Amino acid sequence: MSTREHHLNTSCLIMMVMIALLGGCTNLKESRPILPVREYEKMIVGNLNADYVGTRNCLAACHEHDRLKLFFDASTMGAQLKKESGMPLVDCESCHGPGSLAIKGLTRELVEENARQGIKTPCDFKTLIDLKNLPATAQSLICLKCHTHNATFNLHNWNAGLHALNEVSCFPCHDIHAGPDLKVTPLASGKLCFSCHQSAQAQFSLTSHHPLKEGRVFCVDCHNPHGGFADYSLSQDSVKETCVQCHPDKRGPFLYEHADVVENCLNCHSPHGSVNSRLLNAREPFLCLQCHEGHRINTEEGGPVSAERARAFYTHCTDCHSTIHGSDVPSTSGVGRFTQ
């Protein structure tokens, strides 16, 4: 592209200016008060009569948590418990609130002695933040209070996004006690999404579908559960931009565009699944006849066209109009009929 170099230079310049700005703005990292949603803040601050006791006392003293600790250690959060990880410190009480009341009266010796006798030593977990029963917005705030200050840009459209609006918090998708980096693997994303979006799962059972249940296409290829520019929480800014990630031959722009129909691939295709081939919303020729007048069905002499000619016109429109997504070559008529 003739403008490619221009774009590169522009982007290089913007990046350099940004980084230079950042170099002079490191003091902006200072802790600043946020605008709290006061009632939610009360919910997630924990018991005001409790003190922080540290992870060592929360976990290691209680063998009930041994297995949990193993999972936790393997996660990013767990890794942050270790100074040598080099990461910002996060500990149990960052999310669960101060724990002194929970372990009040418990000593390591008591826990170990009980364990020897086969007795579990329960802590008073009810004095911790009741994470499971918090409103979804409060649950998300527990995560966001850290992730708002570390440039987590996949959350850019979170607050006005579909999941946040519909009170879906971070918890149903991210299990911070399991797996490294808290990322949902692409393979696991289908099962995770379908736990709520069950009808979408059923649509993939239709005879024409993307290979999602085969494990070769993933929900996150098309959708960003954190929200985005476009409807349906798409990963890209429009339906077309999402589809052309894998179907780049349809990107265009073309000399002869199919009006602005192709800006929204959903006009003709059902991406989750369809009873019709090629994920079409309807079978040809009805698909096309919905918007277009069909070819003439009588002859110049006045009689009906032959059955063979009718079949030629009305079996598959795309037999002849084979560049229906856009064309760069004029048809025999000299205009863009998508036949050439």
Indicate left, alpha or beta for 252 from its phi (over 0: left) and psi (-120 to 50: alpha).
left
Min CB(124)–another protein separation in Å: 21
**What are the angstrom distances between the C-alpha of 194 and each of 150, 189, 325?**
30, 8, 31
**What are the angstrom distances between the C-alpha of 200 and each of 99, 226, 271, 282?**
42, 18, 10, 19
Min CB(90)–another protein separation in Å: 11
Identity of the residue, 24 or 117, whose beta carbon is nearer to another protein in the bound complex: 24
Min CB(174)–another protein separation in Å: 15
One-character DSSP codes across 7-47: HHHHHHHHHHHHHHHHHTTGGGGS-------HHHHHHHH--
Identity of the residue, 109 or 301, whose beta carbon is nearer to another protein in the bound complex: 301
Min CB(147)–another protein separation in Å: 7
Identity of the residue, 122 or 180, whose beta carbon is nearer to another protein in the bound complex: 180
Q: How far apart are CA 227 and CA 159, in angstroms?
A: 8
Identity of the residue, 12 or 119, whose beta carbon is nearer to another protein in the bound complex: 12
Phi, psi of 39 (to 5 degrees): -65, -40
Identity of the residue, 113 or 328, whose beta carbon is nearer to another protein in the bound complex: 328
Identity of the residue, 49 or 133, whose beta carbon is nearer to another protein in the bound complex: 133
Min CB(171)–another protein separation in Å: 16
Q: How far apart are CA 154 and CA 161, in angstroms?
A: 12
334, 310, 337: which is closest to 321 by C-alpha?
337
* CB contact set of 249 (below 8 Å; sequence gap of 6+): 325
Min CB(82)–another protein separation in Å: 6
